[in-house]
């Protein structure tokens, strides 16, 4: 494990998860609209999960600051938005976090009209897209590092957002469903149904929406995992047949235990989410302990797999004509 890059490993994974989770919550609202369920009713099962998105991103930014020699100079990166992907990453990150926090506050207190809140949600989702794209651009744009200067990097980053974000929201939905079913009164119940009886059971329409959402989120996560798994052979073919010796060296060094465990854990997560969890969600009529176990396990395996994959990503820091492995204990 490259300890020096651990802050960036945490930041990229957590930020992408928070973006993917926000997209998933938006998709649930769209599904509720198509099923003619009132937005206020859908709020009851999404608001609680929404409040987990912001802290995730904040935690990621805190981790990223530990990667800087002088965190107080980070403000200077804002001055090169037109030419620097790093500047764009910071701008979109702040925009996503700020607009997401504002959206959450307006949802919590019922501020602004429903239409304005929906516009704010769309802007937040767009900022999240810009954030993930900018993250990928920071690495993709470095032409002297062949392992990063390839289209595979954006694929890995966007797939990671869909994989971890979808599973995180699926787990959150089951927690909310379980609290309502058990008649528990607590923080989750209060933020998911502000202003009404927070111990009242969910209606049949919302239960059906949760079940459908968990199924689609499981399939989305599994599909994203499959995309990652299918991209790796193409990525290593690109490295192995690249004219630059630096790319060939990275290919040889990454083809080992980290890659094997990365793919094994990801493969198990895909099978659990797209197979067992999806099938269980189709037949369960009440919050299922087995379904919760399956989704939590899939999420944990997916996150661990992403940590291994992101470690491999930073091990690809090998410049053309310059051996940079010395900083990580290489030769």
Residue 270 is predicted with a pLDDT of: 97
CB 141 within 8 A of CB 149: yes
- Who has greater pLDDT, 133 or 196? 133
Residue 3 is predicted with a pLDDT of: 75
- Who has greater pLDDT, 110 or 266? 266
Residue 127 is predicted with a pLDDT of: 92
Could you tell me the pTM of the whole model?
0.88
pLDDT at 52 over 60: yes
Look up residue 152 and give its two tokens.
């595979």
Q: Convert 181-215 to b/e letters by CB count within 10 Å (16 or more is b).
A: eeeeeeebbebbbbeeebeeebeeebbebbbbbbb
The predicted-structure confidence for 189-235, as pLDDT tens digits, reads as follows: 444 445 444 456 778 899 999 999 999 999 999 999 999 999 999 99
Mean local confidence (pLDDT), 159-171: 96
Query: Which band of pLDDT confidence, cut at 50, 70 and 90, is reported for residue 327?
Result: very low
Report percent pLDDT > 70 for the chain: 81
pLDDT at 18 over 60: yes
Listed in sequence order, the residues at least 6 apart from 105 whose beta carbon sits closer than 8 Å to its beta carbon are 111
pLDDT at 274 over 90: yes
Q: What is the overall mean pLDDT for the chain? A: 84
Query: Which band of pLDDT confidence, cut at 50, 70 and 90, is reported for residue 318?
Result: confident
Residue 20 is predicted with a pLDDT of: 94
Report percent pLDDT > 90 for the chain: 48
Residue 213 is predicted with a pLDDT of: 95
Residue 186 is predicted with a pLDDT of: 46
Residue 4 is predicted with a pLDDT of: 79
Residue 57 is predicted with a pLDDT of: 62
The predicted-structure confidence for 59-113, as pLDDT tens digits, reads as follows: 666 655 555 555 555 566 566 666 688 888 888 888 888 888 888 888 878 899 9
- Who has greater pLDDT, 294 or 60? 294
Interatomic CA distance for residues 273 and 217, integer angstroms:
9
Residue 75 is predicted with a pLDDT of: 60
Q: Is 257 exposed, middle or buried (0-12, 13-18, 19+ CB in 10 A)?
A: exposed
Most confident of 74-78, 162-166, 279-283: 162-166
* Dihedral sign (CA 179, 181, 182, 185): positive
């Amino acid at each position: 494990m490259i300890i020096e890059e651990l802050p960036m490993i945490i930041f990229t994974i957590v930020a992408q998860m928070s973006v993917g989770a926000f997209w998933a919550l938006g998709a649930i609202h769209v599904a509720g609209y198509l099923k003619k369920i009132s937005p206020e009713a859908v709020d009851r099962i999404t608001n609680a999960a929404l409040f987990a998105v912001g802290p995730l991103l904040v935690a990621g930014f805190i981790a990223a600051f530990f990667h800087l020699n002088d965190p107080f100079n980070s403000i200077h990166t804002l001055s090169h938005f037109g030419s620097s992907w790093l500047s764009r990453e910071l701008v979109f990150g702040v925009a996503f976090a700020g607009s997401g926090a504002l959206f959450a506050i307006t949802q919590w207190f019922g501020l602004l009209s429903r239409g304005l809140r929906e516009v704010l949600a769309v802007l937040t989702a767009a900022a999240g897209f810009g954030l993930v794209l900018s993250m990928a651009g920071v690495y993709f744009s470095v032409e002297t590092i062949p392992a990063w200067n390839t289209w595979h990097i954006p694929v890995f980053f966007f797939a990671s957002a869909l994989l971890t974000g979808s599973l995180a929201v699926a787990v959150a939905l089951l927690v909310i469903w379980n609290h309502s079913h058990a008649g528990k009164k607590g923080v989750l119940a209060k933020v998911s149904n502000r202003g009404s009886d927070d111990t009242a059971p969910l209606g049949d329409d919302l239960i059906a929406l949760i079940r459908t959402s968990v199924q689609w989120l499981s399939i989305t996560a599994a599909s994203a995992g499959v995309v990652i798994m299918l991209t790796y052979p193409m990525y290593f073919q690109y490295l192995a047949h690249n004219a630059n010796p630096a790319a060939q060296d990275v290919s040889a060094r990454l083809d080992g235990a980290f890659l094997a465990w990365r793919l094994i854990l990801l493969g198990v997560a895909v099978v659990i989410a797209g197979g067992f969890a999806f099938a269980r969600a189709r037949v369960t009529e009440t919050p299922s302990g087995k379904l919760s176990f399956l989704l939590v396990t899939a999420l944990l395996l997916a996150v661990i797999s992403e940590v291994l994959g992101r470690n491999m990503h930073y091990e690809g820091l090998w410049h053309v004509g310059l051996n940079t492995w010395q900083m990580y204990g290489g030769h």
